[in-house]
Structure 1
Amino acid sequence: MWRDGNRIHFQTSLVESGVPVVTGAYIDLLDVKMEIPRANPCSGTEDVQSDAIFTAIAEQVKLNPDQAKKVNAVFLYNITVNGKPTSEWTLDLKNAEVHKGKPKSGKADATLTLDDNDMVEIALGKLNPQVAFMRGKLKISGNILLTQKLKTLMETNKAKL
């Protein structure tokens, strides 16, 4: 089975012989809406879609702590909805930890503030972080150069989303 736009093409074969029995078949999808699953829809922050992104990043950091430690920095994400702060996440890549809230010790090397929808767009690769920064959608304080190291981490997680 393979997808071409809103059309799914498929064929079926006999398991025993591999002989195709249905070929040239397809299904047209009328309306495709793909959403990121919510991290915890019962948490009271159900409007914050980016929580699922940080949850996925946390899982990848646990699986690949050495790769995360190569970044060797602490990032604080302030996520907003309609301009109001709604969620904070810390990526402590010195200790290979990702958790909701402020850094556990010390302060962040860089703080990134952006809207929930923009975070989702960046994570899915639909919005370039540099373009978001230039348009004022992404605000960064602290060591801005460290944020370049996040690119590889985000690209690794894009496939998981």
Structure 2
Amino acid sequence: MWRNGNRIHFQTFVLGTEKPVVTGAYIDLLEVKMGVPRANPCSGKTDLQSDAIFAAISEQVKQNQDQAKKVNAVFLYNITIDGKQLSEWTLDLKNGEVHKGKPKSGKADATLTVEDKDMVEIALGKLNPQLAFMRGKLKITGNIMLTQKLKSLMETSKAKL
């Protein structure tokens, strides 16, 4: 791998034979500032690391409206720290939009509740969502099968982080 500005170029080879598998590949980096959650004593609100994740997802949805609308579902994320809900995000993939708060109309097809740090780990690919669900780190109510459709959206957003 090598970096050229905001672009990281990479190649992969088969171990032992050194045959190229992927060549000419690159990832463009966006500026994403992720800090440690900390309380703002003036507002009583907490800055969440997962806010950057949802910003990246929002950009992906804007750039890929057709792909997002194929999911055709509304997801509500409840983001917690130490079990206390601090934020809500809606992925309205019926209308191709992502926003902070509850769904603007109707109700969510699936509601996902996850700790802020675990959401970041899932988005970065460090925590498998199915494993997080089985370990109780990710709770899902509603149509759980729809969450499988989020995989492609999360993978393209991960590349943008």
User: Match for 1:74: what amino acid?
Assistant: V
Alignment pair present for 1:125 and 2:125: yes
Deviations 1:42-97 (A, max 9, x none): 88644310011001111111111111001000000000011100000000000001
Structure 2 residue matching 1:52: 3-state secondary structure: helix
Over 3 Å counting, the alpha-carbon distance change for 1:122 and 1:107 in structure 2 is: same
Structure of larger gyration radius? 1
Residue 137 of structure 1 aligns with which residue?
Answer: 137
User: Match for 1:143: what amino acid?
Assistant: N
Residue 93 of structure 2 aligns with which residue?
Answer: 93
Tell me the percent identity.
Answer: 80
Task: Report the TM-score, using the length of structure 1 for normalisation.
Answer: 0.74
Contact 2:46 2:86 in 1 (8 A): no
Structure 2 residue matching 1:88: 3-state secondary structure: strand
Please list every run of 5 or more consecutive structure 1 residues that lacks an aligned counterpart in the other structure: 4-35
Measure how far apart 1:155 and its partner are. Answer: 0.2
Structure 2 residue matching 1:104: 3-state secondary structure: coil
Contact 1:114 1:139 in 2 (8 A): yes
Task: Report the TM-score, using the length of structure 2 for normalisation.
Answer: 0.74
CA RMSD of aligned residues (A): 2.1
Residue 23 of structure 2 aligns with which residue?
Answer: none
Q: How many residues align?
A: 128
Give every structure 1 segment of 4 or more consecutive aligned residues whose post-TM-superposition deviation is greater than 2 Å.
Answer: 41-47
Alignment pair present for 1:37 and 2:33: yes
Residue 61 of structure 1 aligns with which residue?
Answer: 61
Contact 2:73 2:146 in 1 (8 A): yes
Alignment pair present for 1:151 and 2:115: no
Higher relative contact order (CA 8 A, sep 6+): 2
Contact 2:74 2:109 in 1 (8 A): yes
* Mapped partners of 2:148, 2:73: distance in 1: 11
Please list every run of 5 or more consecutive structure 2 residues that lacks an aligned counterpart in the other structure: 4-31
Structure 1 residue matching 2:139: 3-state secondary structure: strand
Structure 2 residue matching 1:53: 3-state secondary structure: helix
